[in-house]
A and B are shown apart, each in its own frame.
Chain A
């Protein structure tokens, strides 16, 4: 067997391995951190925080504990959801399922503590924020669990009900994102708030349906009725174009009626363009998982544009 003269005993293959590119090494080194961020829903919590800050800025609200509460709630609810669906997710997201299964006990404790902290912080904001922080938990229980065993015989989980599943997630998400900063600040509900809320409901609906294209096969097998399962991928794409267009029309109408400022409308329209780009890529790119993350990140550029300049002030 040939060996390297400079390092006796070493084999050519090993030599090649030691010359791996820096990017590969970095990728290997950061894999645990990336797994933690993406598989544990930490990145979703970060996006939720960014969106609350964005909403606060768009509606000219003061900075409150709302972003922190929203982040904690998101981490807790999505964490619990992933724990609850370990069996069904094994087909659609095997890597994530393996990660969550490996750390499930610690993960559940962390999620519980996060939810506890979120509710506790929201109590400081008053009854409205307290109620809002309880809402995602209640919705999640309705959404994912058989709350009343006596009714669960023929009653499907809300998670399995066509369209209602995505609408429920979108509604709960938008409620927390828009109304938490509002309630913390004690600000009144204006027409602009309504527009921003509807924007988030519709945009989040699109976000929710994007990963359903990736999960098409698994969802079909386990009987979960999503848009791609029911109408197919092509029609799903058209439907999501429709919802995105409707959202854009809503913003345009609000701008015309001077309900929202041109700045707000521009920022939100830009996010819709990105969202439409993601919808366009549906079933046209190989990495479906990255596409789902991209859909969830479509408001981050708007956050960067609207919020980061404030840091310099």
Chain B
């Protein structure tokens, strides 16, 4: 028989290891799992200490007393174990205060019933001293609540094991070692308690579970020292994965083999103009038919997705998800916003074209006229030469304006009052084109708008005046509020805009065959786009042109 003296010695060792382990864990606070581990070891030490006192107690009342107060430690252990396991493995969403209170209800009732056990028979129905192998031991018959707390302890013990089992297969050696040590620490008292309850241990009626805590203590100490329990722990793994998925710049959708959306991040939802609540569980075809169709197109190298109704462009890539048997179990589709990239590409193309075409044309005219001037003294040729040189200079100024607009797109921009912008633009145009009649209907209330609209409005109004060849040229400007926007219309009675020029507005870019002649319209289109507005141009070809600018209101001025 395992003598009580030997048992006491082991219990003393258990307390020693438990207190030392608790202090080592205490030092690691606030590392995840440190607090619950301190609590767990404190509970074990209290249980072990009360068992020693119970063995040493001479009377039935004292032995009963120490069993009753031991519940203060016993009941705390399963809760502390579960919290430790959850925190350690990164399931901290289940360790909020409300959860702790919930887990603690049954243990709290148990402690209360333990302290009042003399008044009821819920924990124990009877208590008596019996002689076993010449030793007087306490024999208590378990009551109903004893089995409740026993079952609850096993349930929480099991729940605490689950997160650790996952870490047994971790690729990190340290985490595997930690998990094995922690499981060993749990299983030793668990198995001992089961064997005791089945009455298969020769311990003279004394529950030897606290003795097994010496094994737990050594295991936990090993996890702390050998496997750096709090020096390296897997807590961030779960959170990191979800955090990376949620906070990545790209939109990401996870599709199952039937193309149902099973997960998506906030970016993907924003890109596809939906919400995860709406999209999850539905077919990707229902969420974004264009994107679904891109599956085959992507194989042909067309990976740009342009959702209808937006000016956005996304580069789509697809990764097949495979299980350990190399079976395809779904796809991850990532959307990378390349709108700015494509716009920059288009702008470069226009810049390139203007420089290549317009400057070359002007220079050829200058060279031809200069050659003529060399041999003939022609005032008209000299004027032509001068005009084209001025045209090149103007082009240079326009390029500078375009570059300024591009630079503004990368900065935080200020605001200007729309009323002031329009008034100044009209006054400036009146000065340059005195033959043109300007009509202006200002908005009832002034609004603050992006200051880029200064350049935009200036170009629209000057273009309307500059290219107006009507014998009685008129340019009328109106501004009206439309919800969160203000509509500015610039109407002229000139010859209209060439359809080639409108290609930039219609397609957002030029084509090799259809391109405009300068930067004026490009500045209007790009500036409005960068400032978050929209341009619409109606040109009859003979009855003039109406340029409508839809400008977002930033605040009432």
Residues of A within 8 A of B (CB): 80, 108-109, 111-113, 115-117, 119-121, 123-124, 126-127, 130
Instruction: Tell me whether B279 is interfacial, beta carbon within 8 Å.
Output: no
Instruction: Tell me whether B18 is interfacial, beta carbon within 8 Å.
Output: yes
Residues of B within 8 A of A (CB): 8, 11-21, 23-24, 27, 45, 48-49, 52-53, 56, 225
Chain B residues with CB under 8 Å of A130's CB are 49, 53
Interface pair A124/B53, CB less than 8 Å apart: no
Give me 18 A-to-B residue pairs in the complex whose CB atoms sit less than 8 angstroms apart, sorted by A's number.
A108-B24, A112-B19, A112-B24, A113-B16, A115-B19, A116-B15, A116-B19, A116-B20, A116-B21, A119-B45, A120-B12, A120-B16, A123-B12, A123-B15, A123-B49, A124-B52, A126-B56, A127-B53
Interface pair A120/B56, CB less than 8 Å apart: no
A109 to B12, CA, bound (A): 19
Nearest B residue to A117, CB-CB: B16
A124 to B13, CA, bound (A): 11
Chain B residues with CB under 8 Å of A117's CB are 16, 20
Chain B residues with CB under 8 Å of A113's CB are 16, 20
Nearest CB on B from A109, distance (A): 7
A111 to B48, CA, bound (A): 22
A124 to B27, CA, bound (A): 27
Additional pairs, 20, CB under 8 Å, beyond known A119-B16, A120-B12, A120-B16: A80-B23, A109-B24, A109-B225, A112-B21, A112-B23, A112-B27, A113-B16, A113-B20, A115-B19, A115-B23, A116-B17, A116-B21, A120-B15, A120-B19, A121-B12, A123-B12, A124-B8, A124-B12, A124-B52, A127-B49
Nearest CB on A from B312, distance (A): 47
A130 to B51, CA, bound (A): 13
Chain A residues with CB under 8 Å of B225's CB are 109
A123 to B48, CA, bound (A): 9
Label chain A's interface by main secondary structure.
helix
Interface pair A123/B24, CB less than 8 Å apart: no
A272 to B155, CA, bound (A): 61
Report the number of A-B residue pairs with Cβ-Cβ less than 8 Å. 57
Interface pair B18/A123, CB less than 8 Å apart: no
Chain A residues with CB under 8 Å of B18's CB are 116
A109 to B53, CA, bound (A): 28
A23 to B63, CA, bound (A): 61
Chain A residues with CB under 8 Å of B12's CB are 120-121, 123-124
Chain B residues with CB under 8 Å of A121's CB are 12, 16
Known pairs A116-B17, A120-B12; A111 contacts B23 (CB<8 A): yes
A127 to B8, CA, bound (A): 14
Nearest CB on A from B37, distance (A): 13
Interface pair A119/B24, CB less than 8 Å apart: no
Nearest CB on A from B10, distance (A): 11
Chain B residues with CB under 8 Å of A127's CB are 49, 53
Chain B residues with CB under 8 Å of A80's CB are 23
Chain A residues with CB under 8 Å of B48's CB are 123
Interface pair A120/B23, CB less than 8 Å apart: no
Interface pair A119/B19, CB less than 8 Å apart: yes
A116 to B225, CA, bound (A): 16
Nearest B residue to A114, CB-CB: B20
Chain A residues with CB under 8 Å of B16's CB are 113, 116-117, 119-121
Chain A residues with CB under 8 Å of B11's CB are 123
Interface pair A108/B19, CB less than 8 Å apart: no
Most B CB within 10 A of own CB, among A108, A113, A116, A130: A116
Nearest B residue to A121, CB-CB: B12
Chain A residues with CB under 8 Å of B17's CB are 116
Nearest CB on B from A14, distance (A): 46
Nearest CB on B from A111, distance (A): 7
A184 to B225, CA, bound (A): 33
Nearest B residue to A83, CB-CB: B27
Nearest CB on A from B159, distance (A): 28
Chain B residues with CB under 8 Å of A124's CB are 8, 12, 52
- A-B complex: 10 closest residue pairs judged by Cβ atoms: A116-B20, A120-B16, A116-B19, A112-B23, A120-B15, A116-B16, A112-B20, A120-B12, A119-B19, A113-B20
A108 to B21, CA, bound (A): 11
Most B CB within 10 A of own CB, among A109, A112, A121, A123: A123
Interface pair A108/B49, CB less than 8 Å apart: no
A203 to B53, CA, bound (A): 34
Nearest CB on B from A252, distance (A): 41
Nearest CB on A from B9, distance (A): 9
Interface pair A123/B52, CB less than 8 Å apart: yes
Nearest B residue to A108, CB-CB: B27
Interface pair B23/A116, CB less than 8 Å apart: yes
A119 to B53, CA, bound (A): 14
Chain A residues with CB under 8 Å of B56's CB are 126
A130 to B56, CA, bound (A): 14
Interface pair A126/B15, CB less than 8 Å apart: no
A53 to B463, CA, bound (A): 106
Chain B residues with CB under 8 Å of A123's CB are 11-12, 15, 48-49, 52-53
Chain A residues with CB under 8 Å of B8's CB are 124
Nearest CB on B from A175, distance (A): 19
